[in-house]
Chain A
Amino acid sequence: MAESKIVLPDLPGAEYAPEPPPQGPVVWMKENLFSTPFSVILTIIGGLIAVVSLRGIFGFVANPERIWQAVTTNLRLLMVQAYPDQHMWRVWVSIGVVVVLTALSLAAWRVGGRTSGRKLTGNVMALGGLLAIIGLVADFPFEMNVTWAGIGLALAGLGYMIRRMMGERAKAENIPVLAVAGGLLIGLVASLWVLQVPVPDPDSGIRAATTELLANTTRIPWLLLLITGFVAYGIGIAIRDWKPSRPLLVAGWALSYPVIFLHILRGTRMNNLSEYLLIGLAFLVAGAAIIYALVNLDIGESGRLISGILLIAALVTWATPVLIIIRLLLLILAVFALAAPTFGGSGGSKYRYMGIYAGTVVVMVYLMLLATGTSAVQTQSAVPFGGFMITWLLAIGAVALSFPIGVVLALARTSSLPLFRVMATVYIELVRGVPLITWLLMSVVVFPFLFPEGVEFEDVVKVLLFFTFFSAAYLAENVRGGLQAVSKGQAEASNALGMSTMQRTAFITLPQALRAVIPALVGQVIATFKDTSLVAIVGLFDILLIAKNVVPNQSQPFNFLGSIKENLVVVALVYWIFTFIFSRVSQRIERNLGVGER
C-alpha cells in the first residue's frame, strides 16, 4: 500500500490548538497504576507477586546446586537424539533450506516496516530496566546481583544517551526493522566467536575440564547459514518484481516439508522404484481412458455401472493382499470415476479434470514410494528422528497436512449434499470422540494389521498420519465455526452475481471464514505442537522424554543423575519460545488482515 499522509493546511489560529496533555512516567503511573484506592492495592499485590516470583525463578537458575552442564553437554541429544555424526550435514542442510526460503519470502512479500529511533532506544531501555530489576531482587550470590544490576543500568543509560543524542531525529520512522533484525543476527553469530563454554572431558569425567569457543563446539555452520540467508535475501530483492516469484515460493514452502523430512533428514532409499513407477504409469493411462469415457454424458447409465464396479473392486482389494499402492490408486480412480459426470463437463474442464486425476496419482505414487522406502540414516531409536527434531517435524507436518483436510471436512460438513455431510460428520465425531493417546497407540499397534501384505511404515510416519487426522477433525470444526459466522447475505450476493458454488466458496465465504477464526486456528497449531510430546507413549524419543528419562540417568562419566529439574526448565523454555513466536506471528497476520477492526 502506498503511504498516504494528510497534509493539514496552515490555518490561521493554529497557535490556539489545545495544549498537549501532560506526559511522562509519573503521569503514566498515576493514570494506570494508582488511579483509585483499589488499583493502588492491586498494584502493590501484583508487584509483590512479580518480585517474589522473579526472585524465586532467577534464584533457582543461579543456585550453585543446579547442574546446568547436564543440559549443555546433552544439547545434541535433546535436539536430534542419536542422529549419527556422519549424517549431521543433513540437519544443517535442512536448516539451510528453511533459512533460504525464509529470506526469499521476506524479500518477496516486502515484509518489515520501519521503526523509529525512539522505539528502538525505548526497547533497549526496557531491557536494561528488566535486567536491573532482576539484578536487584533475584536470589543471587551478591556479586551476581551487582553485575546484573550494573549491566542493566548501563544498558538503560546507553539507550537514554543515544536517544538524547538523536534528539528530534529519534521520532522519525526511518530505521528498517529487518536491518535491526539482521544486525541482531550478526551479533548473535559473532558472539559464537567471543563466548567461551566449558567443555567436558569424557575420559576423566570432569564436567568442565577446559573451556572452548562456542564456535568450535557447535556442529552447525552458523556463519555459513547467516551468509546464505543474506545472499538469499539479496536474490529475493532482485527477483521480487518477477511475477511468478511468489507462487514459486509458495510451492517451494509446500515442497520443503517432504523434501526435508523424507529426502534430506531420512535419506529415504526408494526400494520399489521401478515397480511403483510401472503401476503408476498403468493407472495413469488406464484411469485417464476410463475417465475420458465417463465424462462423456452420452454414456448414461452404463457409466454409473462402471464406476460402481470400480468402487466395489477398490473396496474388495482392501481385504486382499495386493500391493497397498494398487489399493490406494484403485480407490482414487473409483472416486474420480464416480464424480466424473459432476465435474467433468465438456471441453476444457474435461481435460482439467483428467489433469487433476493425473496429479493425484503422481503425488500418491511419490508419497507411497517414500513412505515405504527405508531410511539411509540408522540411529539407536526405531526411527532416525528424535529429540526436538521429531517434535518439530511432527508439529509442522501435522499442521500443514491437516489444514487442507480440515478445510475440506468443514466444507463437506456444511455441504447440502447428504453423503458428504454424513461422511464428514461421522469422521469428525469419531476422531474427536477418542483421546489422542488412544489414536497414537492404535497407530502403532493396530495400524499394521490394516496392511497385512508387508508394507511397513516407520512409526514416525504412522504417528504423523494419525496426528494429521486428529488435528484435521478439530480444525474442521474451527473452520465450520468461521463458515457459520459469514453472513448469509454474502452467499446470496455471490449467487446473485452468478457465481458457481466453487467460486462462491473459494472467493467469498472461505476467505472470510478463515479470517474470522485465526485465533482458534493458532490455538490449534499451538495445541498440536505441544501434543507432540505424547509420542513418548509409543516409544519415540522426543525432547521431553529425553529430558525426563535419559539425561537424568547418565551416571558415567559425568554423573548427571538428578538433573531432571534443569532439563525440564530448559524444555519448558524451548516450548515457550516457539509457542510465543507462533502467537506473535498470528497477531501480526491478524493486524495485517484487519481482524477485529470491523
Chain B
Amino acid sequence: MEAKSKMIKRLSFLLVVLALVAAACGGTEETTETTAPDDTSVTTAAPDPGTDPGTDPGQDTGKSTLDVVKERGKLICGVSGSAVAFSETQPDGSATGFDADYCKAVAAAVLGDATAVEFRSTTAAERFDVLKSGEIDVLFRNTTWTQSRDSDVGLDFGPTTYFDGQQLMGPGNRFTVDSSAADVDGAVLCTNTGTTTEKNIVEWARLGGAEIVVEGVETFPEAMERFKEGTCDLVTTDGSGLVGNKATETAAGTAGAAEWVIFPSAPISKEPLGPAYRQNDSAWADVVNWTIHATVIADEKGVTSANIDDNREIDPEAGRLFGLEGEVQSAMNLPADAFYQVIKQVGNYDEIYSRNLNPVGLTREGSLNASFVDGGMIYAPPAR
C-alpha cells in the first residue's frame, strides 16, 4: 500500500512537470504565431527560417506576388467553380465564366499566356483564408466589396468588375417592376439562409412596414424549386442570379416564367463584385487593377480582340496602353505588351461580359454595368 501511494505520488509529480513544460512551450509558440501575420510583405527582419511557413508567398518572404507568379510561370486564381455564368466548372473540369475570364486576363498580362492559370475552386467560407495563407494569388469569386472585408487584416479589393444588387422575383400577376415593400406584405419568401441576402430582405421589409414570411433553404437552387412549385410567392438573391434563372426557366418552357417580374428597379442592396488580393502588395495590386482598367479602356475605345492589331495606336492613350513602347508597363515590372496580350487573348470588358453573361439573359444596356458614356458605372482612370 505504502509503496503504491508513493509511486502514484511520483507519477503525478512527473505529470505536473510535463504539463508545465508543455504549457510553457505552448506559450512561446503562441507569441511567435501572433506576431507573424502582422509583418506582411515588407519584412523588416528576416524571419527565423524555422518558423517561416515557407508556403506563404508574399507574406513572409517579402516578395511581391507578382514575382512569385512570374517565377512559378502560372497564376493560381481562386474562383467559385459553381456560380452561374461567373465561374462554372465544365464537365471536363475546365473553368469558364466572367470571373474565370478575368483570371485569364491577369495571366495574359503577367505571363503573356491566358492559359497559364491554375483555377482553384473555393467555397464561400474558405475563400478569404486561402487568399490570406497564400494558396491563391488573387480571388475572383463574385465577392462583394464591403468595409469590414476591406479593413480586415490581410485583404484588399480591386476595381469592381460587376455592379450587382439584391432584388426580388415574383409572378407577374401579383407584382410589377414598380412593386415596393408595401406590396409584398404577407407574402412567403424563399431564400438561402445564413447570407447577407436574408438579413437585407428582412430589414428592407421591416423598414417598409411589411410583414413577410421568410422560408429558409440551404441553397438558392432549392429556393428556385420551391418558387416554381408555388410554395413561395417570392425569391430573392442578387439581381444577376434572378435574371439568369428567369432566362433559363423561360428557355426551358417553365409555365409562367416569362411573366416573372424582378423588382424593385433600384436594388435593395449594393453588391459591387470584384477581385481581392493580399494587402500591402502594391506591385501586385497595380497589375490586377490595371488589367481590369485596360479591358474597360479598350471597351471605351472600341478596341476588341478582333481589331486590336489594327488599332494598337488608335490614339495616344491606346498607344501607351497597348502600343509597342509600353513604358508604363515596363515600369510596373510587366512585359511591354502586357495589356495588348490581355485584349488579344481574352478581350475587352464588353467581350468578356457578352460572352459570359448575355447567354443567361444579363444585358449591359440600361444596367449599372453599362459604360459611363451610356450612363452606367463602368469607368476606368486614364492611362497616362
Contacts and interface: CB of A to CB of B under 8 A. Distances in A.
B88 A556 contact: yes
A350 interface: no
Interface of B: 11, 14, 18, 21-22, 24-26, 28-29, 32-33, 48, 50-55, 81-85, 88-96, 118-123, 125-126, 129-130, 135, 219, 221-222, 224-225, 244-245, 248-249, 251-252, 356, 359-360
Given A321-B48, A549-B82, A550-B82, A76 B118 contact: no
B93 A84 contact: yes
B53 A564 contact: no
B107 to A, nearest CB: 14
B51 A379 contact: no
Nearest to B93: A82
Interface residues on A, range: 35 or more
Given A380-B89, A555-B244, A452 B121 contact: no
A452 B93 contact: no
Nearest to B218: A548
Contact of A319 (B25, B93, B122, B356): B25
B19 to A, nearest CB: 10
A15 to B, nearest CB: 71
Contacts of A379: 93
A76 B91 CA distance: 7
Contact of A562 (B24, B50, B120, B221): B221
Given A456-B55, A553-B82, A380 B221 contact: no
Interface string A535-560: 01111010000101110111110110
A453 interface: yes
Given A321-B50, A449-B33, A550 B89 contact: yes
B21 A316 contact: yes
Contact of B95 (A84, A380, A452, A537): A380
Contacts of A558: 91
A556 B359 contact: yes
A380 B121 contact: yes
Given A380-B81, A454-B52, A561-B245, A554 B90 contact: yes
A308 B11 CA distance: 12
Contact of A556 (B25, B83, B85, B245): B85
B51 A555 contact: no
Contacts of B83: 553
Given A553-B84, A559-B251, A453 B25 contact: no
Max chain B CB contacts within 10 Å: which of A536, A548, A554?
Answer: A554
B62 to A, nearest CB: 16
Contacts of A82: 89, 93-94
Given A319-B29, A561-B84, A77 B55 contact: no
A453 B51 contact: yes
A449 B96 CA distance: 35
Contacts of B89: 77, 82, 380, 546, 550, 554
B224 A562 contact: yes
Given A319-B25, A452-B33, A550-B81, A77 B93 contact: yes
B51 A382 contact: no
B178 to A, nearest CB: 28
Interface of A: 73-74, 76-77, 81-85, 200, 202, 308, 312, 315-316, 318-322, 378-382, 419, 445, 448-449, 452-454, 456, 536-539, 541, 546, 548-550, 552-556, 558-559, 561-562, 564-565
A454 B122 contact: no
Contacts of A556: 85, 88, 96, 356, 359-360
Given A549-B82, A553-B88, A380 B93 contact: yes
B93 A448 contact: no
A555 B18 CA distance: 59
B191 to A, nearest CB: 16
Contact of B248 (A536, A546, A559): A559
Contacts of B126: 538-539
A312 B22 CA distance: 10
Nearest to A78: B91
B264 to A, nearest CB: 25
Given A316-B21, A452-B33, A454-B52, A539 B123 contact: yes
B121 A541 contact: yes
A321 B21 contact: no
9 contacts: A83-B93, A200-B91, A308-B14, A315-B18, A320-B50, A380-B121, A382-B135, A541-B121, A550-B89
A272 to B, nearest CB: 12
A437 to B, nearest CB: 12
A319 B248 contact: no
Contacts of B53: 448, 452, 454, 456
Closest 10 CB pairs of A and B: A319-B25, A321-B50, A82-B93, A549-B82, A454-B54, A539-B126, A553-B82, A550-B82, A561-B248, A380-B119
Nearest to B222: A564
A321 B52 CA distance: 9
Contacts of A319: 22, 24-26, 28-29
Contacts of A561: 84, 221, 244-245, 248
**Interface secondary structure of A, over-half rule:** loop
A382 B55 contact: no
A245 to B, nearest CB: 41
A46 to B, nearest CB: 29
Contact of A539 (B28, B33, B90, B122): B122
Contacts of B120: 380-382
A222 to B, nearest CB: 20
B51 A452 contact: yes
A430 to B, nearest CB: 16
A265 to B, nearest CB: 15
A321 B91 CA distance: 44
Max chain B CB contacts within 10 Å: which of A77, A538, A562?
Answer: A562
A382 B248 contact: no
A316 B25 contact: yes
Max chain B CB contacts within 10 Å: which of A308, A319, A419, A558?
Answer: A319
Contact of B219 (A312, A454, A549): A549
A552 B221 contact: yes
Nearest to B23: A319
Given A448-B53, A539-B123, A555 B360 contact: yes
A322 B26 CA distance: 15
B219 A74 contact: no
B347 to A, nearest CB: 16
A176 B63 CA distance: 68
Contact of A452 (B29, B84, B251): B29
A418 B126 CA distance: 43
A315 B14 CA distance: 13
A316 B21 CA distance: 7
A250 to B, nearest CB: 37
A488 to B, nearest CB: 25
Nearest to A80: B93
Contacts of B55: 454, 456
Contacts of B121: 380-381, 539, 541, 550
Contacts of B21: 312, 315-316
Given A380-B89, A382-B135, A454-B54, 17 more contacts: A77-B93, A81-B93, A83-B93, A320-B50, A380-B81, A449-B33, A539-B125, A541-B81, A554-B90, A555-B248, A556-B88, A556-B96, A559-B248, A561-B221, A561-B245, A561-B248, A562-B248
Given A456-B55, A554-B89, A564 B225 contact: yes
Nearest to A67: B252
Contacts of A541: 81, 121
B128 to A, nearest CB: 12
Contacts of B48: 321
B90 A321 contact: no
A415 B11 CA distance: 18
A73 B91 contact: yes
A382 B85 contact: no
A558 B260 CA distance: 23
B82 A382 contact: no
B294 to A, nearest CB: 25
